[in-house]
């Protein structure tokens, strides 16, 4: 009895300090993969920061910085949906091993060219395009593999939430460390760290257990375009995924572009400098971590539709207030809210989509459509809002994006009863809610 009380006391202390270990992370199989994936994202974020700095240092042209970023991401709009078809056919372990090895080669090439003084904008754009092709396969594959690592289907949400938290933590830490490394050792040091950061994930992929698909009938079908159409048709006709992806694409186009507008906002509205921008970006990234902690603490997916609607609406309102602010203190508060709700909305959509997707042979294609929102929609949003800011000003551009997010959140909220009715049987089958709750 005494020993039992002591064990319960220890468990209560762990829950108080660590909010209890998420169920998925209790599996060595899942935690090994997620830690490796988060470390590789840490290196990737550092490389992105270093590349922006390097292009601007070489050219002193904001336009070429934008071109380099656009070419890196825009290929995803074309390639990622096709990659989804192939991910439903191919062995995920081999796909991820290949993408990590190619990423190591590309980052090592950047390191060599920079150290030898042979780096130029043309080589950066070419390597960036190659990295974009790799990401088109790598990012969806990283998501698709997670449900095949968990022991119980019900732990999928926990694994996805933990993955989002670790990625956002890497996003928070990497700019600070990357900035220090660039200042002391130059951009090459970031590229070198990026090359090394893929090794833990490479090791994890070689060791984790990946559940095979029950049947891979898709592999027998040679019609790639037909399979691609099947994926889009499924995402369109299955209403919960359709509405979630529509909200995701709206947020990516209207809200995520705020990152590119921040330097202009700092200079024109706040009359600040690089240090001011650093404060704002740190506050935004910290908000992302808070969102990740919240999603982990939820443990289950029930009610996540309401979270998407409320967080999207709060994101829009925060953008509206931020766009009207001229004091740094107020801007720091609301960009924290922006970062938190932006991550909360998009991570919730991803977690929700992965869990309710019961057709495993379509997971790669649906995940690739979600990823297209980042790799394909975002660069066009950046171009649109860049032009809009030039016409009506940066503050009015942010205001427009915020209003669109609020309207989108309202429209999504009207679809929640339909979504709830469709997904309830799925929750029952997974054991997330009792049979008696089904209507």
Tell how far CA 358 is from the center of its chain.
22
Q: Tell me how far apart the 2 most distant CA atoms of the chain are, in Å.
A: 73
Write the pLDDT tens digit of every residue in 297-328: 776 667 888 999 999 999 999 999 999 998 98
Count CB neighbours of 280 within 10 A: 26
Tokens, residue 141:
């594959």
Q: How confident is the model at residue 232 (pLDDT cuts 50, 70, 90)?
A: confident
**Whole-number CA gyration radius for the chain:** 22
Sheet strands (E) in 227-323 = none
List Cα–Cα distances, 89 to 11, 113, 362, 400, in angstroms.
43, 36, 10, 42
Q: What is the DSSP letter of 300?
A: S
Q: How many CB atoms lie within 10 A of CB 31?
A: 20
Rounded CA-CA distance 261/256 in Å is: 10
Distance CA 98, CA 67 (A): 27
Burial of 278 (0-12, 13-18, 19+ CB in 10 A): middle
Split at pLDDT 50, 70, 90, the class of 16 is very low
Distance separating alpha carbons of residues 278 and 31, to the nearest angstrom: 32
Percent of the chain scored above 90 by pLDDT? 22
Residues in the chain: 439
User: How far is C-alpha 50 from the geometric centre of its chain's CA atoms?
Assistant: 20
Integer Cα distance of 268 and 326 in angstroms:
10
Listed in sequence order, the DSSP H helices in 88-186 are: 92-115, 121-145, 156-185
pLDDT digits (tens, 9 = 90+) for 358-416: 666 677 777 777 777 666 677 778 778 877 887 888 899 899 999 999 999 999 999 99
pLDDT in tens, 204-229: 999 988 877 655 544 455 576 676 77
Measured between alpha carbons, how far is 378 from 70 in angstroms, rounded to an integer? 9
């Amino acid at each position: 009895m005494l020993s039992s009380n002591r064990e319960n006391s220890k468990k209560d202390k762990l829950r108080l300090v660590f909010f209890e270990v998420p169920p998925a992370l209790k599996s060595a199989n899942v935690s090994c993969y997620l830690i490796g994936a988060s470390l590789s994202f840490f290196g990737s974020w550092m490389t992105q920061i270093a590349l922006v700095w390097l292009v601007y240092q070489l050219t002193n042209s904001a336009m070429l910085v934008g071109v380099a970023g656009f070419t890196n991401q825009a290929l995803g709009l074309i390639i990622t949906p096709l990659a989804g078809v192939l991910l439903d056919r191919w062995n995920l372990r081999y796909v991820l091993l290949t993408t990590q090895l190619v990423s190591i080669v590309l980052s090592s090439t950047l390191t060599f060219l920079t150290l030898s003084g042979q780096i130029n904008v043309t080589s950066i754009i070419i390597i960036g395009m190659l990295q974009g092709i790799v990401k088109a396969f790598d990012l969806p594959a990283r998501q698709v593999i997670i449900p095949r690592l968990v022991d119980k289907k019900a732990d999928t949400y926990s694994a996805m939430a933990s993955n989002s938290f670790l990625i956002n933590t890497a996003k928070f830490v990497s700019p600070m460390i990357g900035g220090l490394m660039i200042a002391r050792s130059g951009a090459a040091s970031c590229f070198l760290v990026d090359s090394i950061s893929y090794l833990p994930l490479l090791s994890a992929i070689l060791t984790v257990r990946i559940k095979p698909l029950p049947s891979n009938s898709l592999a027998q079908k040679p019609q790639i375009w037909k399979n691609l159409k099947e994926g889009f048709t499924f995402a369109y006709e299955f209403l919960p995924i359709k509405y979630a992806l529509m909200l995701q694409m709206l947020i990516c186009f209207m809200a995520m572009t705020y990152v590119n507008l921040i330097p202009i906002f700092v200079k024109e509205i706040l009359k600040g400098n690089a240090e001011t921008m650093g404060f704002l970006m740190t506050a935004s990234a910290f908000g992302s971590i808070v969102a990740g902690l919240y999603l982990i603490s939820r443990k289950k997916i029930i009610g996540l539709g309401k979270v998407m609607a409320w967080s999207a609406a709060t994101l829009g309102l925060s953008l509206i207030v931020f766009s009207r602010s001229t004091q740094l203190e107020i801007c720091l508060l609301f960009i924290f809210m922006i970062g938190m709700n932006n991550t909360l909305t998009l991570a919730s959509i991803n977690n929700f989509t992965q869990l309710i997707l019961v057709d495993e042979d379509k997971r790669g294609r649906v995940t690739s459509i979600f990823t297209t929102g980042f790799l394909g929609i975002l660069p066009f949003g950046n171009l649109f809002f860049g032009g809009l800011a030039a016409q009506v000003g940066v503050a009015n551009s942010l205001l427009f994006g915020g209003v669109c997010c609020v309207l989108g959140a309202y429209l999504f909220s009207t679809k929640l009863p339909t979504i709830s009715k469709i997904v309830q049987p799925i929750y029952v089958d997974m054991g997330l809610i009792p049979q008696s709750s089904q209507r």
